[in-house]
Structure 1
Amino acid sequence: MARLTLTDPNNPELAATIARFEQTLAALTYGGEVVDGNSRSLTLSPNASPAIQSHLSEITNQWLAFQTQLQPPIDDALLQADFAALLSQLDSAVSAYEAEAQAKIARLRWVQIIFLVVALLLLAWGYHLVHDQLIRPLAALGTVAQGIGTGKLNAAVPVLPGYELNQLGQTMERMRGEIAVYQTSLEQKVALRTQELTTAFNFSQEIVQELDPAHLMQSVADHTCDLMQGAGVAVCALDGDGRALELVAGSGPGQQYVGLRQSATRGIALPVIQQHETVVAEGGCANCGFLHHFPGDSCTAAPLQIGNRTLGALCVVRPQNPFDADEARVLTLLANAAAIALENARLIEAGKQQTEENASLAERERLAVDLHDNLAQTLGAMHLSVDQLARELAAGETEQAEMRVAEMQTNVQQAYAQVRMALTGLQESTP
């Protein structure tokens, strides 16, 4: 600008440069639009810094002084001095802008550092929060779930943070408690059923060895009462035509009603005897002469059955704890074992009777053979004695004939006794 003023004051570029400088100074001071060196339009806002505004004010004053030197007559020395002062003011303004920019950059860096530190703290806090509120509770739930899966039900679920996880933990704790109760109940039932089956096996082994039907029935009643934890047991047998049941053995109060008879075609006896079913009912409602004495008590009855043939019934009654399906099944097993043992005892007794009859028949056959031989010998001897008696009578030997007659009478009596013993099936030892 100073060069053009000194060398070519009428050059249009000088006026354009002055206008562009004034526009830029006004935009820096008051804000506005300015064109940069690349011909790009920029919109500036007024600077709020007092130091920069002071520099701009000094530049404006210096520009006004410098602008008067651009008018002729031009004093070269004053022009150069004012231009140097203007450049100095511009350098000061640029330095102020640079310092402000550096301060802003420094503040921005500190803000970034603070944001980074806060972000790291938030990350650490988030990790801690997620670990304490989510990962650790889920790990605890996973450990408890694995323990439940392996059968370890003694460890309780810890109290978990958070509403949802705490609700989940409480639900799992209730589930663990219920599973523990069910497992304990199942173990007790398994132990009870094992004991029942062991007792039933021992019972079947014992009653199979019992051959006396009366003792067998009483043993069945006693063992059934102990095994089923009953207050009373009745063992009833069908009569010959299968229309009536007779109480033949009992345990507890059932012993008082031995000999009691009732119809097998009504009441609880109908499904047990006719339909071969194990029935669970209430004693007072069973329409049974024995169960009628136990009103309100629970009872169960099973048929003494072999194949499709029913021998009788086995009944148990107790005042508390109604019989369940498992106990009814155990009673059915006991009744089947008792029926088999009873049938075996009857078969053995029938075998003994058959053996005795066979022995008696063989003895009769032996007696018949002996009788035939003895009778033939006796008759042959009597025939000879008759011939001798005739000769003795013809010879007049009276005394000898009387002795012969007495001997013949004795032989006839012996033959008569032997024939009578054979006919009556009796045998007496003879000397």
Structure 2
Amino acid sequence: MNAPRQGLFASLLIVSFILQTFILVLATTHQLNENRANQGQLITSQLVTDSLSELEPANTVSLALLAGRFATNPNIASIRILDANNQVLATGGMSKTREGEIFVRDALLNEKKIGRIEITLIKPSIGEILRTQWLAILASFIIYVFLWLVYRAIARPSRTEYLTRINREKQLNTEIQQLTHAIEQQKHNAALVIAQAQGSPHSQKIAKDPKQEYQEDHSLALNIQFYDPKQLLDTVTPSVSTPYFNLCQIFLNKSIELCVQHYKLNCSDIKTIQAFNAEGTTISILANKPNAAECLTMISTVFQLLSEVLYKRYREDKRFVLQTRSAISSEVEAMQLSSAQAASRLVKQLSAKESAVHLPKDLLKTLSTHYELMSFPSPTNVLTRHAFMINGMDIEYAELAQNIRTEILKAK
């Protein structure tokens, strides 16, 4: 049971240590520059004062002894004493070839220039500065290592938290398996019904397209699709995508269950035209059912909230996840589209987390009392010209959607 984001915390500590060391070197360099400037001015002033009596007339022996005495300072790289004609009279220093900061001062006697003093003070390199600060750098390194070890000990999840997480994952896997089994059983039952219908002599009618059937029944359809501009779905294996689709289906089923309870409908009123797969999902309800449009819109809203929670959590865990978009539509007679076909076509015009509706005027009027509807941008056909984007909702419906979402997450 490792601490969460242990590697990220270690990276932050490393960056912090490097920055601290860099700032320490800068501060030390600045302090040394100031000290060197003050020291250079004091030494040149003192050397000028001591050499005045030996420059006029020039006493090279005394000046050499004087330069040698000052050159014993370890910070001095070289000393040059020159006469008024810039002729070198004496030199000194243990590191004459080393570069550094040069301090120059004229020697004046009765306001007459009789010579010049040049002193070069050693400018320490970065390596020398690091060698002088090795104790502080080592101490800070030990502190950062100690912080990393403390974080590993404190942030590591307890055994209770670890077991709780394992239990949640097991519960989620159980729900996914149950849902998968239910879907397979439903497909099997549907296949049996079709086989029986084809074998019956009384069944002479051609089977209708489910979407066409709902169109004749004047249904409303909700289509939810994944927003996948980078086509990531094509890059993942079924072992990754299938559990993700099943989890989305669980969230949708629970959203339907709680929303139909609130609007006093039955779960059987909601028909699943297409369960979650790479193309998304489509559900439908008869338009003449009371609160049909409000119920579908709330299902869409709650699922979008759940999808966003799932997206953030899976992104943190670096697992495959996509954002979703949704659309609700009635049939479009002018384009000969059923409600399911119209919703599927409308949702393709949306981006992540967006929702749109295409409904008759009376249903739009009812929705507008609780939802903020905005005309569809850049309409290109009859469908989009009469469609509206959902741009928000009132406080009552927002709290209802949040409460249903919270109840589903707690139940999970």
TM-score (norm 2): 0.22
Q: Which has the higher contact order (CA 8 A, sep 6+)?
A: 2
Higher helix share: 1
Higher strand share: 2
